Structure formats: C-alpha cells, structure tokens
Amino acid sequence: MMFTKRLREPVMRGEVTCSVRIWQKPRVKVGGRYALGPGAVHVTGLREITLADVTPDLARRSGFAGVVDLLKVAKHGPGERVYLVEFEYRGEPNAGATP
C-alpha cells in the first residue's frame, strides 16, 4: 500500500489510521501487510463507501486538510469505486509485506 510522501511519517507515528482510495477493485486485503519504513501497514478493515461518505472529518483522519485535498490524491487509475481502508502501523523488525 503506497502513501504520498507527506503522509508516510504520520502513518508511521500512528496519526493516520485510514485511507480513502478510488479504485476499480480493492488492491489490498484485510489482514494484508504492506511494507512502509522499518515496519508495515497492517490492514484491519476494508469497505466500499460512497463519495458522500467522504466528510471533512474523514479527510482529516486520513491526513488531509479537507475533502478536495483528499480527492486529488485518492484516485488511482481509471477506478470509480470508493474504498475506506483502515489500518495500523507496526514498526516491528521483519514486518515484511504480503502480496
């Protein structure tokens, strides 16, 4: 799971624990581990939502100033389905990643 450069440190500090993504289909799975820094992001939840569910509060929880800021970064390719990915960062040695 990739994060824009400015979000990597807040994710590793545990300040950002969710991400809104716009994909054709999910690109992560619950229970998956995705390398980041010395540890990994562990996906704890994944659900499809609507654009109306993307509130200013959700945008801030995702590390963005507001909804417009988030939506500029959330779209990855031609997808139109909106997903909320919940996760926790674990900075353990050998956290590794799963496909």
Predicted structure pTM score: 0.88
> Please, what sign has the CA dihedral across residues 64, 70, 75, 79?
positive
Radius of gyration of the chain (CA): 13
Instruction: Average the pLDDT over 33-45 and give the result.
Output: 96
Question: Which pair of tokens denotes residue 57?
Answer: 């509060």
Longest C-alpha distance within the chain, in Å? 39
DSSP assignment string, 11-25 = HHTTS--EEEEEESS
Is pLDDT above 60 for 93?
no
pLDDT tens digits along 54-71: 999 999 999 999 999 998
d(CA 47, CA 20): 10
